Structure 1
């Protein structure tokens, strides 16, 4: 018997890696993840992608999280917004001035994945509520954790319910199926400043102390389909 664990409260897509995202009422899910999610990134002259950290693939570019991006129905690239929410007419020219780096440009994903880990991230309201109680000095908001799916869990659901989903498959009425694989590792972006959210390093410190730097769950797509706000998510 399928176990309903919650209802999709909000859907987030992030058209440009490490920038603010857009809220959706529904979205198609393909093998790669939510259609259009992290489809673009800021790429430098060495081929590294703008991120909140430095790795083999990524280059830390401070300030990206203060920008917004929206894909909507566009097919020729995302629309960018400056820190005040104003549309940017020429993304590449703006990014070079904003980042003070002349070798950067907006680039569509090709051979190098724009995802840090797995393509779909899920966070429950039970876990988000725990975070707010654990760090009362900070402004806690789901945007700090960049989930694709914020799942409204029933009253009484304990925090970190996502931990019990690993190794299981979830499904919704639109046919999409997600296979939960592992917890989501957190970095400094969880406490970074973004529009409406001040710098709060105590958030990551608390996650590190209490959760070993992990919060929420990551999944792959086991069957394409559609996700909608209001969908019940059930575990097989």
Structure 2
């Protein structure tokens, strides 16, 4: 039995973690997520993964754009418009200059990946227990340190889905905010029509079919500081996450009530998803 229907209104992937990505009209979904998504990341000499979740250290990565070039290759566009391929030593040198630390682009996740996150001031930005362990690093930022999903550059689930209804709900309660979905770096944006905002709160544990792929909805997606940063032509907007924290703090696993928007998915059946494809949330596991 169906519990919700809609359609895919946007598809995006991000071949290099924390760089701008690319809009797609169709994409193959593999057991590991969207083909070509988060296949590479920028690493420093300590093995830390470059993530704009620590913007003082890695925010300049959002000035770069990554695109899949086929057969696992990735092309990066630098802020001055230069295009270089991942694996080119010149790209590593240019990114070293951009981030002011020696870095390289890698397709291999470190065995013990280290991911640093700035601690936002608003409630629900990180679990309370994690906030208590935060320390100040050399940039002067309060950070926490965690990892990624084993063997990958994904934070948790392989697919991130947003609903247009939730973005509209946030815009209604905070009209001054810029809730362009690109700020939240989704893989899929789904419009469920007239359903109220945060319809996805009822989805965890259920199956979701989009086009030819079938997914399991895992948990709500906790949000970090990244949506507040400049993305392409979108200016910084610190108010968007304060609005999310006010309007939508929900329980996530055993982490407490966190500021969330969207849901994480895992892949049950690979397939192709296209813009306009129907989306169906199914009753039962």
TM-score relative to the length of structure 2: 0.75
Aligned-residue Cα RMSD (Å) equals: 1.8
Counterparts of 1:36-51 in structure 2 under 5 Å?
Answer: 36-51=36-51
DSSP 3-state at the match of 1:61 = helix
Q: 2:82 aligns with which of 64, 82, 87?
A: 87
Superposed counterparts of 1:120-199, under 5 Å: 120-154=159-193, 156-174=194-212, 176-199=213-236
Q: Give the C-alpha shift of residue 60 in structure 1.
A: 4.4
1:222 pairs with one of 268, 272, 275: 268
Query: For residue 28 of structure 2, what is the aligned residue in structure 1?
Result: 28
Distance in structure 1 (CA, Å) of the matches to 2:108 and 2:168: 34
2:108 corresponds to 1:71: no
Secondary structure class of the residue paired with 1:71: strand
Q: Distance in 2 between matches of 1:223 and 1:211?
A: 30
1:157-208 superposed Cα distances (whole Å, 9 cap, x missing partner): 100011111110011342x111001000000001111211111111111111
CA contact (8 A) 1:4 1:232 kept: no
C-alpha contact 2:178 2:240 (8 A) present in aligned 1: no
**Displacement of 1:225:** 1.2
SS at match of 2:50: strand
* Equivalent-residue separation in structure 1 for 2:19 and 2:168 (angstroms): 24
Distance 2:53 2:192 in 1: 32
- TM-score when scaled to structure 1? 0.90
Structure 1 residue aligned with 2:279: 233
CA distances 1:119-172 after superposition (whole Å, capped 9, x unpaired): 111111111112222332232211111110011221x21000111111100113
Gaps of 5+ in 1: none
8 Å contact 1:16–1:41 — kept in the other structure? yes
Aligned with residue 157 of structure 2, among 118, 128, 140: 118
Contact 1:83/1:195, CA 8 A, preserved across alignment: no
SS in 2 for 1:50: coil
Aligned residues: 227
- Rounded Cα–Cα distance in structure 2 between residues aligned with 1:35 and 1:44: 25
